[in-house]
Amino acid sequence: MSLVTGVGVSAERDLNAAIAAAAAEARSQCPDAVLVLGFVTHNHGAAGLGEAAGILASAFPGAQTAGGQVNGITYDHERYDAVFANRFAVAVVAFGGAGVRGAIALQASAGTSPRSSGSALARDAIERLGTTPVGGIFLGIGLSQVPPVDQQIVDGIRDVAPRLRITGSGLCGGMQLDGSYDPGVAFLGREVVERGVLLAVLGGEVRLGFSAANGMRPVGPGAFVTKVDGAEIVELNGRPAKDVTLDLLAPDSPDLRALFEKNPQVMAIERGITFAAPDLEGDFYWCHSPAMFTPRGGVFDAFGPRVGMGLAVTRIDPESCMSAVAEAAGMLQQDAGTEEFELTLAFSCSLRGFTLGADEDGELRKHVKSRRHIGIVANGEVGCYRHGRPMFTGWVFALLGAATESS
């Protein structure tokens, strides 16, 4: 066995004490780590992150350390969800072992020049790694910037490393009254950057698998995108997109329609209904959830709407949401070519927590044999569906699995 990992989680309310405890636990399992990630629920606040980053760096003097603010953490049958339950936690994930290499890069200006920043991120990370990366973890801006730029950052990474597969999430600094996300804070070593983005890559004696599933099921007639302006769907079926959206997603009552009209994002989550585009290969639907209505009657779609795209009306309920965990687990084993993992790391959309409650972490253990498992409650995910390239999407359960044996 070459790969060694360590995972520590602490729910202490004092951030410094929490990250010290989580780091100590991870270090006890993985004393010679080369790459360490720290995840901090955003309710801890950004002000203390610099000191916390320093504590993490001091705990792992021989490793590159990085991380940032997230919506929550799932670990050992507990869901520390800052969005739905205001629970606090810190997680530290360490990678090491003979022949295992790791490197992390940070970009501070990805929000304004996403594609070139993505390329710079990949170049920097790969140069630091000193070998061809096997895979990586991306921590971006997610849905905290409107329109989102994470797909463009991922495209920039792909420009430099076309075969590099990654998974991850947007970092997140909190939630506004209207349900929109605040930008998260990233750190690399002791450097702290608001809206910073991170790419962590692993290479050498390590084998990784990737997968993603969401559990969306088609339930009825949808609509075709007939006019788009950037991230705004202006028309569906030749009509104002807002009208069509309300007709399709909130047909039951005037009261429900009025709530959807005020905030389609919150109501789509509450009702477990959304638009999604079918994947050509299989029973998978790419999320195109209506995030907000525009003054001219359009619909803002964070996930790259295109003219000609057919959007199905899909539902996501506890049963289908949970079945996605099994689907992702099966896909992961196929992708990695193994059924035994040293570590599985999930990036699960925060919205899934509304549907599922706290059970997701335990469900994965039924389907994957993994020595350690940790989940991050995500803010816009990057996932790979059926051996495919990484895509920025939403509402998914995205998995990275590090195999027990590297060959």
- Judged by the rule CB under 8 A, the positions of this chain that interact with other proteins are 81-86, 174-179, 259, 262-263, 266-267, 269-270, 354
Q: How far is the CB of 71 from other proteins (least distance, A)?
A: 10
Q: Which is nearer to other proteins, 224 or 354 (CB)?
A: 354
Q: Which is nearer to other proteins, 160 or 266 (CB)?
A: 266
Measured in whole angstroms, how far is the alpha carbon of residue 35 from the centre of its chain?
A: 19
Q: Which is nearer to other proteins, 42 or 195 (CB)?
A: 42
Q: Which is nearer to other proteins, 211 or 355 (CB)?
A: 355
Measured in degrees and rounded to the nearest 5, phi and psi for residue 399 equal -120, 145
CB contact at 8 A, 406 and 343 = no
Rounded Cα distance, 17 and 317, in Å = 38
Measured in whole angstroms, how far is the alpha carbon of residue 335 from the centre of its chain?
A: 19
Q: How far is the CB of 263 from other proteins (least distance, A)?
A: 5
Question: Under the phi-then-psi rule, with left for phi > 0, alpha for psi from -120 to 50, and beta for the rest, what region is 15?
Answer: alpha
Question: Under the phi-then-psi rule, with left for phi > 0, alpha for psi from -120 to 50, and beta for the rest, what region is 309?
Answer: beta
Measured in degrees and rounded to the nearest 5, phi and psi for residue 8 equal -130, 140
Q: How far is the CB of 115 from other proteins (least distance, A)?
A: 31
Q: Which is nearer to other proteins, 255 or 407 (CB)?
A: 255
Can you point out the beta strands (E) in 183-261?
A: 185-188, 191-194, 197-204, 208-213, 217-229, 232-236, 239-240
Rounded Cα distance, 267 and 260, in Å = 6
Q: How far is the CB of 82 from other proteins (least distance, A)?
A: 7
Tokens of 91: 């997680």
Q: How far is the CB of 156 from other proteins (least distance, A)?
A: 31
Q: How far is the CB of 94 from other proteins (least distance, A)?
A: 29
**Cα atoms in the Cβ-side hemisphere of radius 13 Å centred on 129:** 27
Q: Which is nearer to other proteins, 261 or 340 (CB)?
A: 261
Q: Which is nearer to other proteins, 63 or 268 (CB)?
A: 268
Q: How far is the CB of 78 from other proteins (least distance, A)?
A: 15
Rounded Cα distance, 74 and 360, in Å = 8
Q: Which is nearer to other proteins, 80 or 385 (CB)?
A: 80
Q: Rounded to the nearest 5 degrees, what angle is found at the Cα of 384, between the Cα atoms of 382 and 390?
A: 55
Rounded Cα distance, 68 and 42, in Å = 9
Structure letter (DSSP) for residue 32? T
Q: How far is the CB of 253 from other proteins (least distance, A)?
A: 15
Distances (CA, A) of 100 to 67, 136, 165: 20, 13, 17
